Amino acid sequence: MGEDQLTDSTTAAGPTIATGEARPAGRGVSVGSALRGTGRPAEPAQNTIFDVRGLRVFYGSFQAVADATMAIREHEITALIGPSGCGKTTVLRCFNRMNDLIDTARVEGTILYHGTDIYGEKVDPVEVRRRIGMVFQKPNPFPKSIYDNIAFGPRIAGYKGNMDDLVEESLTRAALWDEVSDKLKESAYALSGGQQQRLCIARAIATSPDVLLMDEPCSSLDPIATLRIEELMIELKRDYSIIIVTHNMQQAARVSDRTAFFTVDVKQTGMRTGRLVEFDATDAIFTNPREKQTEDYITGRFG
Amino acid sequence: MTSDTTTPAVDLTGSRPRLRRERRVRRLFAGAAAVSIVVSLLIVGSLVGEAWTFLRGLDLSSLWTMGWFPRRGLFDVKTVLTGTLLIALVAMVVATPLGLGAAIYLSEYARPRARRWLKPILEVLAGIPSVVLGYFALTWISPNIVMRLSSHAGVFSMAAAGIAVGILVTPLVASVSEDAMRAVPAALREASYGLGAKKATTVTRIVFPAAASGIMASLILGVSRAIGETMVVAMAAGAVGGSLFQWNIFQPGQTMTAAMSALAIGSDQVAGSTSAFQSLFFLGLLLFLMTLGLNLLSDRFVRKVREKY
Ligand SMILES: Nc1ncnc2c1ncn2[C@@H]1O[C@H](COP(=O)(O)OP(=O)(O)O)[C@@H](O)[C@H]1O
Ligand SMILES: [Mg+2]
């Protein structure tokens, strides 16, 4: 793995799945069965896809995130939870260099992606984003047809295959094909909120990224649409690694394999800096957290 | 027929003095609105009336002859229409790339600090009196641009006037289309970048199309302003009193506005001579209808932007 892996203009560098390591089909242990005190489930041997070391994020002189270190694994769903303003969105946007778009934002520390520092000098953020797709909190389809929404990413990446097939496949995987197959040329704005969000997921997976970042993808959706998207995430993790921000703890417990709990420290100066409190298997976080702060938050005694 | 007893009645009628006051305020504003509508209608009415007087006393064949010479009773409409449209065309050839380029730069590329001093400069440019630009057309644009492009061109030409009008219109095009591009939600740009689009791709494939109706509106407003511009063309286009039909932009030409100002201020020495002076209103009516049509069109485009987000 050269330092310049991400500076290639080709999109050939896919996920590095080590041979001989069988991945478990789903989560090994359910939340309920993990109530066994200290008996932590044995962690399956999996590759680290993001190695985050000493991540700190600033907006101007305001420090939003202090010193987060965590290893995010391939083909898992990693949830970032914590109270509002603790920097979940900020951390998520570090993974595909989305914070580059904010003039005042500054990122320190390293994020190794398949061993390459995505903040390295020669790294082109465009190449990073082609491999690491993003779904935003509010559905944000383009004011174009459903078809063109899906085709946008592949087109700009120079996709040579059959676009109709790709559009159908992406919509099918996002569980939206049946609802829109007869109105692909209609505006994406004619869809409901839940459909728009699934369209955005379909749009993100159409470019076959390696990782999907999702920022509270269900926050503007009703319970049924939420459930569909959760099912979809579990379905998608066979092919993708997913990092999801959620303020819904049940959702984190339902879908994620590992959970990172952040909180806000209020300094005497009034500065509110987010801090990673605990990062562990979801079962452990929800049933047997190491930190008291985590337990208080999980059980609703927060503060 | 139920035996339920109702609770005591409540008096929900408003207090009379307050209702009366509200009615009075309402009438006051309605009156102000009515006055402005009536004044506009009177202007249009007199325009139509005078134009009708002019047309009635005229041999209609003099509306389609060799040129615009009101003193000799030659009122060739195609001469002034062509002059007007040619100058507007030259102006838009200048203003479209400059205006849209400035808008794209300001809305998508400029850092906040650069914006902070570029935007006011644009506004200063919009405030340059057109007399100054007319003078600039004669003393700089003509010798340095037009005469280099064509060896037959003199000091006065439609090209020189058109380029100056283009400079005049550029800030308008830039500011209206910049507003349209900045109105495109940031979420759409993020969606595009999130899919691995470059900046140029995001601007051309997402921002520009999303702002298309606003950008169209800015161009239509630009045309409308170019057609209505008077001082620059009166000074630099060359034909003050009259002109032969002319489609060569390197020659002097006559526009509707320049013809009108010549008639009004009497620089063609015909003020007062009945039918020639009346032709001013006929041109005014034509001009009014053209700009009205263009502004209605641009309004429709702008409304389309609003519907979208
Ligand atoms: N673009 C920005 N500029 C300045 N401060 C920001 C910006 N975005 C977020 N912040 C601040 O950073 C902190 C973390 O925000 P965020 O990551 O959105 O939190 P969360 O997603 O956990 O609610 C908050 O205090 C917020 O006000
Ligand atoms: Mg957030």
**B176 and B99 in contact (C-beta within 8 Å)?**
no
Tell whether ligand 1 has an atom less than 6 A from the beta carbon of residue A176.
no
Which residue of chain A has the CA closest to B191? A140
pLDDT tens, residue by residue, B3-24: 677 888 888 888 889 999 999 9
Q: Give the pLDDT mean for A120-126.
A: 94
Cβ-nearest to B195 among A138, A144, A153: A153
Give residue A89 CA to ligand 2 midpoint distance, Å: 4
Tens of pLDDT, residue by residue over A174-226, are 889 999 999 999 999 999 999 999 999 999 999 999 999 999 999 878 888 88
Tokens 């007319």 appear where?
Answer: B134
DSSP-derived secondary structure for B37-75: HHHHHHHHHHHHHHHHHHHHTS-GGGGSSSEEEGGGTEE
| pLDDT value for A22 | 39
Q: Say if residue B45 is in the same domain as residue B108.
A: no
pLDDT at position A109 is 95
Residues B72 and B205 both lie in one domain: yes
Whether residues B294 and B219 share a domain: the answer is yes
Distance CA A144, CA B55 (A): 51
Ligand 1 centroid, distance to A57 Cα (angstroms): 10
Is there a domain that residue B114 lies in? yes
The pLDDT value recorded for residue A8 is 44
Residue B5 counted as domain residue = no
Instruction: Please report whether residue B182 resides in a domain.
Output: yes
How far, in Å, CA of A243 to CA of A134, rounded? 9
B195 interfacial to chain A (CB closer than 8 Å): yes
How far away, in angstroms, is B165 Cα from ligand 2 center?
Answer: 49
Backbone φ, ψ for residue A143 (5° rounding): -75, 60
> Does position A229 have pLDDT exceeding 60, yes or no?
yes
For chain B, which ranges sit under pLDDT 50?
271-272
Ligand found nearest the CA of A101:
1
Q: Within this chain, do residues B43 and B184 fall inside the same structural domain, yes or no?
A: no
The CA A199 to ligand 2 mean position distance, Å, reads: 21
Q: How far away is chain B from the Cα of A130, in angstroms, using its nearest Cα?
A: 4
Say if residue B36 is in the same domain as residue B65. no
In a domain, B2, yes or no: no
Q: Which residues of B touch A203 (CB under 8 A)?
A: 191, 195
Nearest CB to A133 within list B188, B195, B308: B195
| CB atoms A98 and B190 under 8 Å | yes
Pair B57, B129: CB distance under 8 Å: no
* Residues of the domain holding B167: 61-308
What is the pLDDT at residue B265?
Answer: 79
Question: Nearest ligand to the C-alpha of residue A81?
Answer: 1
Is B125 inside any structural domain?
yes
B227 and B269 in a common domain: yes
Query: Does the pTM exceed 0.95?
Result: no
Question: Hey, what domains does chain A have and what are their CATH numbers?
Answer: 2-9+47-141+211-298 (3.40.50.300)
Mean pLDDT of chain A: 85
Residues B162 and B33 reside in one and the same domain? no
CB crowding B72-82: b at 16 or more within 10 Å, else e: eebbbbebbbb
Mean pLDDT is lowest, of A1-5, A60-64, A297-301, B264-268, for A1-5
In a domain, B11, yes or no: no
Residue B154 within a domain? yes
ipTM over 0.85: no
- Rounded CA separation B123/B102 (Å): 12
Smallest Cα–Cα separation from A20: which of A43, A48, A45? A45
Q: pLDDT value at position B112?
A: 86
The answer to whether B196 contacts A189, with C-beta atoms less than 8 Å apart, is no
Task: Read off the pLDDT of residues A7-65 as tens digits, 9 standing for 90 and up.
Answer: 444 434 443 333 333 334 433 333 333 333 344 444 455 789 999 999 999 999 999 99
Residues of chain B numbered 51-110 and touching chain A (CB < 8 Å):
none
- Is residue B88 situated within a structural domain? yes
Decide whether any atom of ligand 1 lies within 6 Å of the A156 Cβ: no
Query: Distance (Å, rounded) from C-alpha A214 to C-alpha A135?
Result: 5
Give residues 218 to 277 of A whose Cβ lies within 8 Å of B.
none
pLDDT for res B273: 54
CATH number, residue B272: 1.10.3720.10
